[in-house]
Chains A and B, each alone.
Chain A
Amino acid sequence: MDKYVRSLALSSRETIQTEHAMEALATMKGPELNEIDGTENASSLLDSAEDVTANFLAPVEDEKYKLPQCPIYVYKGILTRLSGFRRIDDCSNSRRE
């Protein structure tokens, strides 16, 4: 019986502590933002602003995960040849040189 009462008391205490913590979080005040006086201050703040996007977004290493795949299939051989093609103007210029 003692054990039951003790466990009941413990769980009640945990519940109360959790409620206090939640209440503290809800009413907690964060640091005040600096007031911006005029455009000069605003631009200097912007200049010193740091882009932290990369800290929150996972890096995308493979391009195929970044872009949707083309629904039209192109042979690898065609793509290889594309890299070897040049504009006709370029070819004639290089011949002249």
Chain B
Amino acid sequence: MTVLILAGNDSCVRDVILAPSIESALNTKDVLDRWNEFEYGVFGFVVFESVTTPETYQGELLKLPNPNKTDLLLIATNEGAKPTAWMYHQQEKSDDQKNSRFSTVSLQSGRHQAKADTFTVVHASHVGVEFEDQAGPAKMVQ
């Protein structure tokens, strides 16, 4: 399952890490170091599937580092179709039983559109890789 893990800060996605699975991305030291360096938190992930039951991905969402138990974003996109998005709300009961639920949301990108703002899209295996003709880590920036 190819995924794009979304990370960033200030409620804004700034890092998009492409990986064959969530585990493989989280097992890549350079990815974790990068998020630590920029103080990024994980916001969720994107799957390239037509999703009708987001609950299928609850297990994958729970694998994401989310110490503050914030709401996570699940985006499904397939063959260029308009992405569908859900927020995953995680609440913890007193008996340690986790009660979760998904709600469909519309994506918004109306904030942080200043030209100085950038985002990075990179494959997990390329994070931290430096090239001779490049000063910083490899990244595709818009």
A75-B112, A75-B119 known; A67-B4 Cβ under 8 A? no
B contact residues, total (Cβ < 8 Å) = 38
Is B25 in contact with chain A by the CB < 8 A criterion? no
A87 to B76, CA, bound (A): 12
A68-B106, A82-B75, A85-B77 known; A74-B111 Cβ under 8 A? no
A74 to B2, CA, bound (A): 19
Whether the pair B107, A85 counts as a contact (CB closer than 8 A) is: no
Whether the pair A85, B108 counts as a contact (CB closer than 8 A) is: no
Whether the pair A67, B44 counts as a contact (CB closer than 8 A) is: no
Whether the pair B80, A83 counts as a contact (CB closer than 8 A) is: yes
A75-B112, A82-B77, A82-B83 known; A87-B106 Cβ under 8 A? no
A-binding residues in B (CB < 8 A): 2, 4, 6, 11-13, 16, 18, 20, 43-44, 46, 48, 71, 73, 75, 77, 79-81, 83, 85, 87, 103-113, 117, 119, 121, 142
Besides A77-B142, A78-B16, 7 other CB < 8 A contacts? A69-B106, A70-B85, A70-B87, A72-B12, A74-B13, A75-B142, A82-B83
